Structure 1
Amino acid sequence: MSLLTTVMNHTLDEGYAQAAARRHSEGRSGLPRTLRAKLWLATGLVLAGLVVTLGAAQAREAAPTVARERQELLERVESGTEAMDALQQEVDALRTEVAARQRDLLSDSGGDPGELTALLAGADAVQGPGLELVINDAKGVAEGGGDAREGSGFDTGRVRDRDLQRVVNGLWTSGAEAIAVNGQRLTALSAIRAAGDAILVDNRPLVPPYTVQAIGDPQDLRTRFDSTVDGQYLNVLRDNYGIRAATSDQQEIRIPAATSLTVRTARPADTGEGNTQ
């Protein structure tokens, strides 16, 4: 009877009671750990579902905007391409018109395109206003007192072939129509080289001072040449290394024809109506 009375009065084992009291004192829920884990898992799945749903909804809303922007860009590219093609056609038409007017002017003035080509190619002597540059070695070099600078090549006070090359190229770039160095006419086949301390133009030796004559509007040539890299290069030679250079405008310059002008490959282009090249 005492055992039955104990069971009736103490239905819960003392170990379970102690564990429940311990969880309560630690502030933990009375729910079992497995149930709490399932609840957290379910909550996480619900949140993940919400994120995926919201992302899909935003993507569906943004898709039409992206497609519209892409279409607008494509239309702008196509429009720009069409405008560029139209401008290129206009440029080609203007070039054709300019060439035709040039031929008409030559014909009205009794000129011949062949004569103009000969003038520009160097086969005929030319004359007209222009610019004259006189370039000389540094003073000590010219008087036989040795180089004004130590070393060789660019580091000397002597005018080198590459110096004349840059001056000539600068004048061509500035719009010169004909150029001669010490009376030697330069053409598309001309070469300025060095042989020791001597400078050769078309294999003909030159002696300083070097007189470079260029036909063209004097003031225009001077302004353009001074603004080129080659014109600045000449100023560096003059200011830093003592090489002497003087420029003067000339009302009338006469440049002789090239002494040798041999064309082995080029031939006149076919300008017939049937030519499509």
Structure 2
Amino acid sequence: MSLLTNVMDHSLDDGYAEAAARRKADGTGGMPKTLRAKLGLAAGLVLAALVVTVGAAQARVEAPVVAKEREELIDRIDRETEAADELEKSVDELRDDVSARQRQALEQSGEGGEPHLAGVLAGAVEVHGPGVKLVVNDAEDVGGGDGQARGTSGFSDTGRVRDRDMQRVVNGLWASGAEAIAINGQRLTALSAIRAAGDAILVDNKPLVPPYTVLAVGDGKRLSTRFQDSLDGLYLHALQENYGIRTAISVEDELRIPAAPSVIVRTARPYLEKTEETEQSEKGTS
């Protein structure tokens, strides 16, 4: 009976009681670690939910203000766009008016009973009449012909038409008696430039793609014969023979070349060389 009484009175080992007493004395007793971790996680979740709730409420309050500012910004952009369109339209109208006045002035400044001549020579008026049609295209194995954009292999002697090739063609046509020239519809004037930018050929800063159709108004048969017999015509023939550049020239009864998009009117003053008499007169007046 004493053994049973001892077991009932001391169901746990005395070591558990001693360990609990030591933890209590050291201040480490109380709530288990797992329970503390769970409570900390719960507190963090509650805090996060509180922050999200407050943020959502604040966003709901500020939403009408943001929407209003967005609408005002869209309205402002629309107004500025309309104003820019109106200004662009006005600029186009003024540019057309200036071009018309320039062409009229050039037409009226001709000599020898031909007021139209100055406008033709300056490229300010449209020209039509007989002439020559010359088509210059890259070689077939190069690719990029027939109006397609060319690759990025660069300008080299591999069957690709270069800017200096077109320069020689145009200069040869001028020297052969052409009165007006256009490349792919771009009218050439005394101030026109043919340059290269990467793989593109630029005519007055406008990129062109092959094939290059050159229209030259003049005495068709004579112009064609003189050009093909000239050094520039022989140069073009050598490009065809050596590099496969495709060319085709034909005499046309009627060609139409548009006016240049913009013509700059310039004036010149005769240079008066100073003589002893003019110098003395200037000294006398001074």
TM bucket (normalised to shorter chain) is: 0.5 to 0.7
Listed as ranges, the gaps of 5+ residues in structure 2 are 1-109, 146-152, 271-286
Alpha-carbon contact 2:138-2:211 (below 8 Å) kept: yes
Q: 1:260 maps to which residue?
A: 262
Alpha-carbon contact 2:155-2:199 (below 8 Å) kept: no
Question: 4+ residue runs of structure 1 moved beyond 4 angstroms?
Answer: none
What SS does the aligned partner of 2:222 have? helix
Deviation at 1:243, TM superposition (A): 0.3
Q: Which amino acid aligns with 2:254?
A: E
1:1-277 correspondence to structure 2 within 5 Å: 106=113, 111-112=114-115, 115-142=116-143, 153-264=155-266, 266-267=267-268
Report the count of equivalent residues: 155
Deviation at 1:268, TM superposition (A): 7.8
In structure 2, relative to structure 1, the CA distance for the partners of 1:139 and 1:182 (3 Å cut) is same
Instruction: Work out the CA distance in 2 between the residues paired with 1:143 and 1:165.
Output: 21
Q: 2:24 maps to which residue?
A: none
Alpha-carbon contact 2:194-2:202 (below 8 Å) kept: yes
Q: Which amino acid aligns with 1:252?
A: E
Instruction: Work out the CA distance in 2 between the residues paired with 1:154 and 1:197.
Output: 10
* Superposition RMSD in Å: 2.2
The TM-score, its normalising length taken from structure 2, stands at 0.51
Q: Which amino acid aligns with 2:177?
A: G
Deviation at 1:140, TM superposition (A): 1.1
In structure 2, relative to structure 1, the CA distance for the partners of 1:117 and 1:156 (3 Å cut) is same
What SS does the aligned partner of 1:155 have? coil
Q: Which amino acid aligns with 2:227?
A: F
Instruction: Work out the CA distance in 1 between the residues paired with 2:111 and 2:154.
Output: 51
Q: Which amino acid aligns with 2:234?
A: Q
Instruction: Work out the CA distance in 2 between the residues paired with 1:127 and 1:169.
Output: 20
Instruction: Work out the CA distance in 2 between the residues paired with 1:103 and 1:187.
Output: 19
Instruction: Work out the CA distance in 2 between the residues paired with 1:103 and 1:267.
Output: 16
Instruction: Work out the CA distance in 1 between the residues paired with 2:111 and 2:157.
Output: 50
In structure 2, relative to structure 1, the CA distance for the partners of 1:268 and 1:131 (3 Å cut) is farther
What SS does the aligned partner of 2:190 have? coil
Instruction: Work out the CA distance in 2 between the residues paired with 1:189 and 1:263.
Output: 11
What SS does the aligned partner of 1:253 have? strand
In structure 2, relative to structure 1, the CA distance for the partners of 1:203 and 1:152 (3 Å cut) is closer
Instruction: Work out the CA distance in 1 between the residues paired with 2:183 and 2:197.
Output: 17
Listed as ranges, the gaps of 5+ residues in structure 1 are 1-101, 145-150, 270-277
Q: Which amino acid aligns with 1:118?
A: G
Instruction: Spell out, residue by residue over 1:49-84, the C-alpha distance to the aligned partner (whole angstroms, 9 max, x if none).
Output: xxxxxxxxxxxxxxxxxxxxxxxxxxxxxxxxxxxx
Q: Which amino acid aligns with 2:142?
A: V
